[in-house]
Structure formats: structure tokens, C-alpha cells
Amino acid sequence: MVFDQLKKIARLVFLWFDTDDQAAELQTEGPAAEAFNWVRVLPFIGMHVACFCVLWVGWSPFAVGFAVALYLIRMFAITAFYHRYFSHRSFKSSRALQFIFAVLGCTAVQRGPLWWAAHHRHHHAFSDTERDAHSPRTRGFWWSHMLWFTCDANFPTQYHRVKDFAKYPELRFLNRYDILVPFVFAWAILFFGMALERWAPQLGVTGWQLLVWGFVISTVVLFHATFTINSLAHVIGTRPYQTKDDSRNHWFLALITLGEGWHNNHHRYPASVRQGFRWWEIDLTYYALRLMAALGLIWDLRPVPERILREPAERAAANQLQSIEGLS
Ligand SMILES: [Zn+2]
Ligand SMILES: [Zn+2]
């Protein structure tokens, strides 16, 4: 009995390092599959607890600036590549660049690009229905924010949903061993901090301080900012488009996620590279992608069709007409 339990725990720990090998054996259907899996989620909990190390390492302007810079770079990798490229193919790029951004995306510790894109495609196919993996409408706020990935049901990569990218062995490798990149990344930050401590002592940085700010705190904030799109962006904000789901537009969410907060726009037309459809809907990722296109790094950026842009105004006009007719 005890031996069986130990074997089970060892298998779950093994899944930290190799997400494919025994994932097929996990039970992914039924209530048991949706139970909180403590062993699997320990690294995620550990990241949150590690934030308290800030009390021990202190801070410096350089470390905080470094954390902000890494937040912005990795948020861009998530929204521009994990989301707009791997999930929606809203622009084209070279095999080399897609790999570079897949690696950068991995540093955000949100699993591999194929797992992320496959679940996201599933979200769009079944948004806010019983089958949606993370709907606040059907399962409540905390489930949609983060509990959905703490169980076995959503652990395996649904490779059949991402056949277009799963054909690249380098992406399959990153996806399977998704802890590898964050592991190297964390050590690199620690060594960089130690180098600064030694050769640029005037900055007041230590290796551990840079690790805590640049990796731990920056990543945890990045987690929750990203998760708000699955939770809050289906709860708060405006709905210029009458989509079947509860997706909403919110300026603040758009700001912290570099454009993802225009989520109602996005659900109306997911194929578009742009999520802020109007000039005042600030979409920093889109501007950066335009710059990358101008430099020839990416191409075939898919626009929003005119008819979609006109929809809210046409609906408002139709509603006005209806109310005038109702009065007369
Ligand atoms: Zn959504
Ligand atoms: Zn999407």
C-alpha cells in the first residue's frame, strides 16, 4: 500500500521533468480527474512561496527594473507567439524565429507552446460551455483563473489540436521537457546577478536578489496577469460584440497584458493579429508585431475585416431605430 503510494508520487514527480512519457496513463475524464493534484502543482506553489524571499534578499532599482523588463519581454512572447502565432496563426514567421520565441515563451513557465496552444484552441471551440476547460461562467472564478491546470484532466498536451506545429521536432522537444528552459533561465539570472555583484558592486545587486526579482516575482506576476484573460476578461468590461461566450473588453487588462484585454474583440474574430480593433484600443503587441513585419521578421499579418469593424456601430443604429419605432 505504502509502496503503491510512493510509486504514484514518484510518477507524478517524474511528470515535472517529462510531461509526455506517462501522461497518457493519467485519468483525464470524470470527477477524480478534476481533483487538485498536490504533487504536480508543488513547483507552482513553490514559486509563490519563494516570493517571500524578498524579505531576505532586499531590493535595488536595478533588480526591480530587471524584473519589469523580463515581465514585458515574456508577456510579449506569450501574447504574440504562444497566443497570436501558435494558437491562431494570425501571422507567418520563419522556423528559426518561431523556435526563438517558443524558447522565450517557455521562460514564462506556462508549459510548452504546444500544450498552451492546444488548450487555447479548445477554449475557442467551446468558450463558456460545459466543455470549456476554464470558464468562469460554468466553473467559477478561481477554477477559470488557475485551478483548471492543477488537475490531471488538463495536464496532457492535446497534440491532435496542434498538428500544424507538432510536426516540428524542436517544438515537440521544448513542449515535452518544458521545465528545461525555465531551469536554465533561472540559473542564468542567478549567475548574471553574481557577476554584477562582483564587477558592478555600485548597483547594489546580489545574485540571489536578481533571482528573486527577475525570475520569481516577475514570473508570478506574469502568471496572474496572463490568467486574468481566462478569468476576469470573461467577467468584467464591455461587450461591443454579442458573442455566444462572456468575453469582454477591459482597458486595464489590455494594458497589463500588452493588448490581450480586448478579449471580446478577440473572440469575435480570433484570426486577426490585432486585438485592439480601434485606434484608442491600445494593443502594444500589435504595434511591436508591425515593427517586426517592417523589419521583415514576420509577414502576412491577418487584418480585421471591415464588416467586423462596422458591426458594433450597425447594431447600435439598428437598436436605435427599433426603440424609435417602439415609441411611435
Ligand atoms: Zn476567452
Ligand atoms: Zn485566442
Question: Does residue 97 fall inside a structural domain?
Answer: yes
Q: How far is the CA of 251 from the centre of ligand 2 (A)?
A: 17
Ligand in closest contact with the CA of 271: 2
pLDDT tens readout for residues 120-164: 999 999 999 999 999 999 999 999 999 999 998 999 999 999 999
Distance 44 CA to ligand 1 centre (A): 23
* 57 and 210 Cβ atoms separated by less than 8 Å: no
Averaged pLDDT, 108-114? 97
Angle between helices 95-106 and 169-176 (to 10 degrees): 0
Q: Is residue 308 part of a domain?
A: no
pLDDT score for 328 = 67
Does residue 26 belong to any structural domain of this protein?
A: no
Q: What are phi and psi of 60, to 5 degrees?
A: -150, 155
Do the domain assignments include residue 7? Answer: no
* Domain hosting residue 104, numbered range: 67-301
How many CB atoms are closer than 10 A to CB 316?
11
Centre of ligand 1 from the C-alpha of residue 250, in Å: 13
Tell me: the pLDDT tens digits for 16-74? 888 887 777 777 888 888 888 888 899 999 999 999 999 999 999 999 999 999 999 99
Domains identified in the chain, total number? 1
Query: Chain-wide mean pLDDT for the chain?
Result: 94
Residue 159 located in a structural domain:
yes
Q: With pLDDT > 90 as the criterion, what percentage of the chain qualifies?
A: 82
Expressed in angstroms and rounded, the spacing between residue 154 Cα and the centre of ligand 1 is 16
CA dihedral 97, 73, 299, 290 (to 10 degrees): -160
Nearest Cα to Cα of residue 57 among 196, 206, 190, 215: 206
Neighbours of ion ligand 2 (CB under 5 A): 270
Nearest ligand to the CA of 86 is 2
Q: Where are the alpha helices (DSSP H) in the chain?
A: 2-17, 38-50, 54-57, 61-76, 95-106, 113-125, 136-139, 141-145, 163-166, 169-176, 180-199, 207-210, 218-227, 251-256, 263-268, 284-294, 306-327
Residue 124 Cα, ligand 2 centroid: separation in angstroms? 6
Counting ligands in written order, the one closest to the CA of 79 is 2
Residue 78 lies in a domain: yes
Nearest to 297 by CA among 103, 95, 117: 95
Percent of the chain with pLDDT over 70: 100
Going from the Cα of 275 to the center of ligand 1, the distance in angstroms, rounded, reads: 12
Compute the distance from residue 199 Cα to the ligand 2 centre, in Å. Answer: 44
Ligand 2 centroid from CA 54, angstroms? 34
The model's confidence at residue 221, banded by pLDDT at 50, 70 and 90, is: very high
